[in-house]
Structure 1
Amino acid sequence: MADFQRARRPEQVKQRRQAILDTAVEMLAERPLAEISLRELSDRVGLAKSNVLRYFDSREAVYLEVLDRLWTAWLDELEPVLEEAPSDAEAVATKVATSLAGNPLLCELISSMAGVLERNITVEYARVFKSNASRNADRLAAMVRRHFPVIGEHGAGHFAGSVFVIVAGLWPYARPTEAVAQVMAEMGSPTSPELFVLGLREGLCNQLVGLITRAG
C-alpha cells in the first residue's frame, strides 16, 4: 500500500470511486453482504482501509451507493416492460415481481438497507442517499400511476414504498441454509426462489387491488 497516490483531480477521484464500487459489486455476487468486511473490500481493491475511507464514509456508504445505482438501472429496465403491460393489477404486479427476482444483488441490498446499511452513515451522506431514494421511488410511482390514475399520487407513492418493504421481508427466505432447503424439498415445497416470486407477486397485487378499491 506504500505506493498509494491520492487522487487529486476530479476524474481521478471518479475513477477511484468507480473501482471501489465495481469491486463491491463483484464481492456481493460471490457472498452475502453480511460476510463482506471493509477490510476485505479494501484488500480486493488494493488499497488500505483508511484510503477507501477517503472516498466513502464507511462500508455501508459504499453499498448504499451500489444500491442506488442498481435501483436506477432496474427502473431503466422496468419502465419499457411496464409500458407494454396491460392496466391490470395482477399483470403489473407480476412484471414488477419477475423483474426484481431477476436482480438478486438489488434484492440483497434492499433487504439490508434499513436494518444494516443506514445504521452507519453520516448525516451528510444520509441526505444524499435519501434524496436519491425519494427520486427513484417517485419514478416507480409515476410508472404505476400511468396504469392506475385512480389511486392518485399518494396511493402510487404508497405502492412504491411497499415494493421495498415486501422485498425486504421476503428476500431472506429466498436464501435458506442447506438444512432448511433440504427439509423444504422433503416436504415438497416450491423452491425458495419460486416462493419469493409468488409471495412478492401476491403481496404487490394485493396492494394494488386494495389501493384501487379504496380509491374507487
Structure 2
Amino acid sequence: MPETLADLLHLYPALRPLGGELAALAAQAIAAPAGTILFTENDPCRGFPLLLEGEVRVSRSSPDGRSLELYRIVPGEVCLASSACLFRSQPLSAQAVTTRPARLLLVPPPTFKAWLAQPVFRDFVLGLYAERMADLTALVDEVAFQKLDRRLAAALLGHGPELAVTHQELANVLGTVREMVTRLLRRFEREGWIELARERIRIRDGAALRRVAEAG
C-alpha cells in the first residue's frame, strides 16, 4: 500500500533508513475498531505497534478491578509498555484498548531488535521512551500528591458544558473507586458547581471547579 508507506514515513521519519523492509511491513496494516483490545497484562508481546490513525489507551488494573490510565498513544508516538516488554523479553505490564477506530502496523519482535542496530531508529525509540517515562513520573506525582477533589475537578474541565460520562468511567481515569467519585460529585452538586443526570454531568460553575483544580 503506497499510501500506508507514505503515512508511515511521514509519522515515523526515523524509519526512512530501513529501506525495503518497510514496504512489506506497510502491506500488513491492521484495522481495529474502537474498543479493540490490542493486548492485556501478562500477555507476551507480539510486536512493536506503530499507530497510523486513531488513539490507544494504555492502563493498568488492580486486583479489585480498578483501572488507572497510564497514557494514550496517538499517531507518531510509541508504546512504552511494548518497548519495555521487547527490551526485557518479559510479559506486558499493561492493557491497551483503542478509543477510536485505528489503523496500525505491528513490527515483529525479531525485526524490532534488528532495527535497534540502526542508530537513527534506536535514538528515536529511546527518545520517545524517555518522554513517556517523564509523563509517567508526572502521573505518579499526580496520583500520590494531588488530592482527589482537585484531580476530579480538573477531569471535569475542558470538555464543554456537558459531559457524557459515568461515575465508573471517571473513577477508572482517576485510578480510584466509583464510590469516592460519586461522593465528591454529590458534594460538587451541593455546592452548585455541577448538575448530575443519568450518565451525564452538566457544568454550572466552571470557574469554581477551576479554583478547586488549581488549589495549591
Q: Going by fraction, where is strand more abundant, 1 or 2?
A: 2
| Length-normalised TM-score, structure 1 | 0.29
| Length-normalised TM-score, structure 2 | 0.29
Q: Going by fraction, where is helix more abundant, 1 or 2?
A: 1
